Amino acid sequence: MEPRSKRFDQLVFRSQNICEFASESEELTAILHRAYDNVMAEMEALKAKRKGTSSLSHEDANLESVNELQSPPRIRTRGRPKNRLGSKLEKQIANGTKKKKTKVLSEVKVMFFKFVAIEFIFLVNRLANV
């Protein structure tokens, strides 16, 4: 695993634990917000000091990092059939919806056959009583 990815995963794990703990009360949430603002200001100052540029606002820094993390992977088209050009995520979503559709259809069929069986039993009982 790449060092940056490893650091990111560790930070996500720790931040999730902190958020779960801080969400228990308003006071803990306020403490976390103050600490977050202080840490962001300190990190921006360090980043500006290293690069010699002006610091970014919280929103700009967050948007920049989100764009880096969520940019779609580049798909090479050379030598590949057209049906293989989609990203893996799109394929997973498409396959998931196909499975859901077939599952729903099978559930509808089961419900229909149960209904038909109940009606048949009712009809047989009615004819037997006549």
* Span 64-88, pLDDT tens digits: 555 555 556 666 666 666 666 666 7
Mean pLDDT of 20-25: 86
Domains held by the chain: number? 2
Residue 120 burial by Cβ neighbours in a 10 Å radius (0-12, 13-18, 19+): exposed
Q: Are residues 4 and 66 in the same domain?
A: yes
Q: Are residues 13 and 61 in the same domain?
A: yes
Q: Are residues 7 and 54 in the same domain?
A: yes
On whether residue 14 sits in a domain, the answer given is yes
Tens of pLDDT, residue by residue over 26-77, are: 888 888 888 888 888 898 889 888 887 554 555 555 555 555 555 566 666 6
Tell me, what's the pLDDT at 11? 84
On whether residue 76 sits in a domain, the answer given is no
Tell me, what's the pLDDT at 5? 85
User: 111 pLDDT band (50/70/90 cuts)?
Assistant: confident
